[in-house]
């Protein structure tokens, strides 16, 4: 079946049209995205009217695109920026009334769980025990375990856009501000780190999504043009070497780095500090970069649900086998 997957993140609205069926990798057919930057449209806890208008306009346009591309169904979900907004219910009601699309809000634990599912399916059972990290715009997701369902999964409000908004609003911070932010990040990550550390060292530690991909590219990983099957890693030693350089760069200089979008330059330094903290606190010298993330996890979970519903329907059908009741 062809699905339209609508991902409303803290930075970007992304429609991915995919051909998907159980037992096969989701095949992207079309991608459409816009930089909504909803995290920066939150004032006094509420998404602003300008943010609501931008979100509604994007969803309405995505519906047209999905229909034009032949999507049979639309899955819409929102993450941290909408999840944390005080007026999220009213915002999503407005979007639904205007566009006909009801966007679900993913709790942070579910975001971590579905991202873990995508990474597990990508690397397979041979990866053994997995630890998965995802730096989004509004939050950091952490999950781990040896199965398809993680044994531990949680979310921390340490997204790159959130930290940039809270700590970099007045321009590039000085040495003391960077040190203070670094300390805050490490305290927040360490607070519940034991949940994953008690599982023991993972066989594979993986990272997903744009921030980690950008950092890996800056540190020398292959460009996206070489395809998703190329092995990409982020080494802690390389990241530590790059962080002082990133701190010293202007936004214009950051925008010239490989893998960095001009509209995300303000997020590179806080994202790098979160990545460094994760690797240090969980004692990881290297992270494998996984091309699948939350969107793929949502698709795979939906396919699993459909397969389960089909199995139930089939089991409820009258048996075509001849009855042997009363036979001797």
Total domain count, the chain: 2
d(CA 108, CA 135): 12
pLDDT band of residue 21 (cuts 50, 70, 90) is: confident
Tokens of 231: 């092995």
What's the CA gap between 144 and 131, in Å, rounded? 4
Q: Is 312 within a domain?
A: no
pLDDT at 326 over 60: no
Would you say residue 324 lies in a domain?
A: no
Question: Are residues 52 and 129 located together in one domain of the fold?
Answer: no
- pTM listed for this prediction: 0.90
Query: Same domain, yes or no, for 249 and 260?
Result: yes
Q: Is residue 194 part of a domain?
A: yes
36-57 pLDDT per residue, tens: 989 889 899 999 999 999 999 9
Q: What is the mean pLDDT of residues 8-33?
A: 92
Whether 276 and 157 map to the same domain: the answer is: yes
pLDDT tens sequence across 106-162: 999 999 999 999 999 999 999 999 999 999 999 999 999 999 999 999 999 999 999
Residue 24 has a pLDDT of 85
Residue 322 pLDDT grade (very low, low, confident, very high; cuts 50, 70, 90): very low
> Where residue 84 sits, what CATH number does that domain have?
3.30.420.40
Domain that residue 208 falls in: 108-290
Mean pLDDT of 55-72: 96
236-248 and 209-218 helices cross at what angle (nearest 10)? 90
319 vs 98 pLDDT, higher one: 98
Which of the four pLDDT bands, split at 50, 70 and 90, describes residue 316?
A: low
Averaged pLDDT, 224-247: 96
Q: Do both 246 and 213 map to the same domain? A: yes
Q: In what order do the strands lie in the sheet with 27-34?
A: 27-34, 13-19, 2-8, 73-78, 104-105
Instruction: For residue 52, give every residue at least 6 positions away whose Cβ sits within 8 Å of its Cβ, in sequence order, or none.
Output: 91, 94, 95
Residue 248 backbone phi and psi in degrees, to 5? -80, -10
| 201 belongs to a structural domain | yes
Q: Are residues 264 and 116 in the same domain?
A: yes
Whether 308 shows a pLDDT value over 80: the answer reads: no
In a domain, 27, yes or no: yes
On whether both 141 and 269 belong to a single domain, the answer is: yes
Same domain, 100 and 144: no
Asked if pLDDT for residue 265 goes beyond 90, the answer is: yes
Domain shared by 236 and 91, yes or no: no
Q: What is the mean pLDDT of residues 285-307?
A: 93
């Amino acid at each position: 079946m062809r699905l339209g997957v609508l991902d409303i993140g803290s930075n970007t609205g992304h429609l991915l049209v995919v051909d998907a069926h159980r037992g096969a990798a989701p095949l992207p057919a079309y991608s459409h995205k816009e930089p909504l930057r909803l995290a920066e449209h939150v004032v006094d806890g509420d998404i602003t009217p300008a943010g609501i208008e931008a979100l509604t306009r994007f969803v309405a346009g995505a519906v047209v695109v999905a229909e034009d591309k032949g999507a049979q169904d639309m899955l819409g979900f929102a993450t941290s920026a909408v999840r944390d907004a005080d007026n999220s219910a009213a915002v999503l009601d407005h979007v639904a009334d205007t566009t006909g699309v009801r966007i679900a809000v993913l709790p942070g634990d579910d975001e971590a769980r579905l991202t873990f599912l995508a990474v597990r399916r990508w690397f397979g059972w041979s990866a053994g025990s997995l630890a998965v990290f995802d730096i989004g715009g509004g939050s950091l997701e952490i999950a781990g375990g040896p199965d398809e369902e993680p044994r531990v999964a949680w979310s921390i409000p340490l997204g790159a856009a959130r930290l940039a908004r809270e700590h970099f609003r007045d321009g590039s911070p000085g040495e003391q501000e960077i040190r203070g932010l670094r300390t805050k990040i490490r305290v927040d990550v360490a607070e519940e780190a034991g949940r994953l550390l008690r599982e023991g060292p993972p066989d594979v530690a993986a990272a997903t999504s744009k921030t980690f991909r950008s950092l890996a590219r800056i540190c020398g990983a292959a460009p996206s043009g070489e395809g998703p099957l190329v092995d990409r890693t982020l080494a802690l030693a390389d990241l530590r070497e790059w962080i002082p350089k990133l701190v010293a760069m202007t936004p214009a200089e950051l925008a010239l780095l490989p893998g960095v979008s001009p509209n995300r330059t303000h997020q590179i330094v806080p994202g790098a500090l979160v990545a460094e903290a994760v690797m240090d606190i969980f004692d990881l010298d290297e992270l494998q970069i996984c091309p699948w993330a939350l969107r793929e996890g949502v698709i795979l979970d939906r396919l699993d649900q459909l397969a389960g519903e089909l199995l139930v329907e089939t089991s409820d059908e009258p048996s075509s086998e001849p009855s042997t009741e009363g036979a001797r």
